Amino acid sequence: MDPYLQVLALALLPAFGNFAGGAVAELVKTSRRTLSRALHVAAGIVVAVVAIELMPEALEGAAPWLVVLGFCLGGAAFILLDWGIEHFGGGEDASGPWMVYAAVFIDLFSDGLMIGVGSVVSFSLALVLAIGQVTADIPEGFATIANFRDKGVKRSTRLLLSASFVIATLLGASIGYWLLRDQSESLKLTALAFTAGLLILAAIEEMLGEAHEAAEDTRYTAAFFIGGFALFTLVASYFEA
């Protein structure tokens, strides 16, 4: 089997996990409190992706100033993206769900990117990265579609949006395989730091913001954020081991 096709097949695994979570959100009745908790879990997972996978990997092999530059540029890109969606998408209230969608899209893109770059090292590494993302992507898919459902977006559009996450992983895997595989290690790791900058603002500003708007916080709500962080940490550590 062609190595590139193998990479694309692996990249479909995280997208499948995300779609499965979205399907669950379509099948079960979700309250605003459930939506808030799901968004807290998703935010915890995204922060864990940055803290456990992206930044340590980047700092291990690239100059710190280059990693910090990539991280800051990623944050600036997110701010620009947020402004564009809010400015052209109907205001702050309308942009909220779309920024959550953008955050998950970027996360899945980073999954594909890591799989594509990892495949250059070995197929087994790419396989570990792909499988390790599946479990973590299920709550993200659930939170995204439940959020759109809460905002009154029609079902056919929600299903199309859920399916569109496949584009993110395939695009990330293709860029990692074709464009970054022959580049310097510093450039690859700067790209990971750039992705981390995008993701950390998406989790804190948008996912948690939407979660707090969906339902009033209770004393237990923060536990779901910790749970999401712990879930990804366990999954990533288990498969890396």
Query: How do residues 116-142 score in pLDDT, each as one tens digit?
Result: 877 765 677 677 667 767 776 888 788
Instruction: Please name the residue ranges forming H helices in the chain.
Output: 3-27, 32-48, 55-61, 64-88, 92-121, 123-150, 155-163, 165-174, 185-201, 208-214, 221-240
**Mean of the pLDDT values across residues 153-176?**
88
Structure tokens at 53: 């996978």
Give the closest residue to 150 by CA, choosing from 205, 220, 198, 100: 100
Query: Model confidence at 72, in pLDDT bands (50, 70, 90)?
Result: very high
Percent of all residues in the chain with a pLDDT value above 90, rounded to a whole number? 10
Q: Based on the structure, what is the number of domains in the chain?
A: 1
| Distance separating alpha carbons of residues 45 and 42, to the nearest angstrom | 5
What is the domain extent for residue 172?
A: 3-240
Q: What are phi and psi of 95, to 5 degrees?
A: -80, -20
pLDDT of residue 95 exceeding 60, the answer is no
- Alpha-carbon radius of gyration of the chain: 17
DSSP 154-175: -HHHHHHHHHTHHHHHHHHHHI
| pLDDT at 195 (0 to 100) | 81
Half-sphere exposure (Cβ direction) of 6: Cα atoms closer than 13 Å = 13
| Distance separating alpha carbons of residues 210 and 219, to the nearest angstrom | 18
**Mean of the pLDDT values across residues 147-167?**
86
Contacts for 220-224 with beta carbons within 8 Å, 24 or more apart?
221/36, 221/37, 221/40, 222/40, 224/37, 224/38, 224/40, 224/41, 224/44
